[in-house]
Amino acid sequence: MALKIRLARAGTKKRPFYHIVIADARSPRDGRFIEKLGTFNPLLAKDAENRVVLDAERAKHWLSHGAQPTDRVLRFLDAAGLAKRDARNNPKKGEPGDRAKERAEEKAAKAAAANAPAEEASAE
């Protein structure tokens, strides 16, 4: 059985609250789980001590039994010092898309064309 350490959503509409659970990878997100390890409340400030509550001893136990954490849970485990999360780097993420690049080129060309007659007039 493939085990996952993942988030199960609770709370109401627009008020998310998550339980950190051990579940079979095939079970639904909010469905059956094996054990609850803690909670995550994203509405609290990032420095609030009860934003993430995690039973470190049980998490360590399940990691030793082969449970695979999701990316978000791996962040929590890394902050608790239980697992190592490699930093990710996506340099193309902040780069504009093709259409935005075309629009920027057209705008630059228009600006250059508008400045060209003004430069000629000032040169005379």
Residue-wise pLDDT for 49-102, tens only, equals 999 999 999 999 999 999 999 999 999 999 988 888 888 888 888 888 899 999
Per-residue model confidence (pLDDT) at position 90: 82
- The pLDDT-based confidence of 123 (bands split at 50, 70, 90) is low
Q: How many domains are contained in the chain?
A: 2
- Is the domain of 75 the same as that of 114? no
User: CA distances (Å), 32 to each of 26, 77, 89, in order?
Assistant: 10, 22, 34
Average pLDDT score, the chain:
88
Lateral strand order in the sheet of 15-24: 52-54, 35-40, 15-24, 3-12, 68-69
d(CA 52, CA 54): 6
Residue 90 in domain: no
Residue 64 in domain: yes
- Is the domain of 61 the same as that of 103? no
- Is the domain of 76 the same as that of 99? no
- Is the domain of 46 the same as that of 104? no
- Is the domain of 46 the same as that of 101? no
Q: 105 lies in which domain range? A: 95-124
Residue appearing with tokens 């059985």: 1
pLDDT over 90 for what percent of the chain?
Answer: 64
